[in-house]
Chain A
Amino acid sequence: MKNLLYSTIFIFLALFTGTANAQEDMMNLLNKQDKPAIDYTTATFKTTKVVVGESSENPPTGNMLFLITHHFGALNTGYENLFGLKQATIRLGLEYGVTDWLGFGVGLNTLQNTWDGFLKIKALRQSKGARRMPLTLTIFGSTAIYTTKWSDPSRKNYFTSRISYASQLIIARKFGERFSFQLAPTYVHVNLVATPDDHNNIFALGAGGRFKITQRVSINAEYYYLFPNQIKSTPAYSSFSAGIDIETGGHVFQIFLTNAMGENLETIITQTTGTWFNGNIFLGFNISRIFTIVKPKQFRKTE
């Protein structure tokens, strides 16, 4: 009986080692010695904007992004104004990726000559493999200062009166290859508001998504819900923006329609004065171009 057991084991082992493909075995050996790596999700969004608002992305490490944002005038201004083509609101921005988790940027807006500066920190990065993280969490903080002439002579012109702040948590996830989605609870603080009825602290909730239709083209949409009864002296609405992203080599073009006239977050949240329903829609585009400033280590010696 024992002999039978031994011979069974022997035959089994012999068969097993004999039939297994030697190359498969060696491949398994490689798989075993391969340390599982953290596989970070890339390109949740193609650029740092979903449409008009921030996306969870920063420029890659060592890369500078030059971003031109351009909104024409409102469509409902009629033929006399060529449906808004005669006007433009522009923001010129520069952004830099310091590390894979830290980015910063500055911008100049033609709307009220507003300068803005921001920091963007990726606190969590979506990944699989050795570390599984279902979401990317980006913390965005910015300051905006408008620098046009003081318009109200009855009020003293304090420098601080020109400042507003925006902060945002961007919770993003790439669901598979084609679809990405983010939620962005947003808090804006305006130092000086028009009347005592207006709140200084404004809350909004953003939601944005990207759906890839080809390797290089995607449809993006974004909604910022402005919680009611915060801004009373001027009309203020939620904003909706939708457009397409076209990627060509080092550029990303975004062409869209939006009811937000502003181009920095403080303005988008607090100064969206019209709605889609009354035709207060702006045609706009973003052009972003990326430049490598600091090359990866192994490429620095060559050239």
Chain B
Amino acid sequence: MRKISWGREWLALVICLIHVLPFYILATTSFKAHDDFSSKWVAPGYLYLDNFVNAWREADLDRAIVNNVVVTVGSGLLIVLIGSIASYPLARHRTPLNRAVYGVFVSALIVPPLTILVPLYKFMVDIGGMNQLWGIILLHVTFSLPITIFLYTGFISSIPYELEEAALIDGAGRFKLFYLILMPLLKPITATVIILTCVNIWNDFQFSVFFLQKQEMHTITVALSGFFSQYNNYIGWVAAGSFLGAIPITLVYLFLQRYFIQGLSSGAVKG
């Protein structure tokens, strides 16, 4: 077998340590008592959890986490459903009309929806979607459709059509065809779509902060930002809040990291 180069292993270790540094500082800061003014580089030699207790209570994190889960799961389901069925005719029937529709969806990949914030806000007020989880879900779904349709259309085009023809001749209806034949084949790309869109939705701040202003509707990021502007001086609380806010997605990432990295690279290579 190939020889191990210890120089490279050491370099890899140094790179890891540099990249972990921010998390180390986050940890020392969040475990430090309010009257401990030692440097952030120094780890506290005691166990102190008040920061976490206070941050959890004041930022109302339990409700925020529930809201976050509802928004992310709801959006994810709708994205997969609406995105996959929309891509089917776009991939299989490349009429001039369908090419144009595909072009409209994909061109929106480039331009961030944040640019239409002002009129969008007015529109959400008009349809009663302000401070409603369904309101933000519809927004997330819409803004995730371009990447979803792009990935699904590319993937469906690469599946041989003979498979579907055979099923049609056997008398399967189009819907049966879609759910029994196509859906199972779409599993890998569905995983990519879910990872690419749901991470953004889970972490979203720029839209949630506008459209979920009522406290009962706050998601994690919105709850934290409100909490931070209020308790600016309690740096330990802020750190503990950040710590707690980052934990759920970090755990998911560490368990499923193979899929995260595959999802990103396969999504990128298709592009």
A and B: bona fide binding partners: no
Residue positions of A touching B, CB distance < 8 A: none
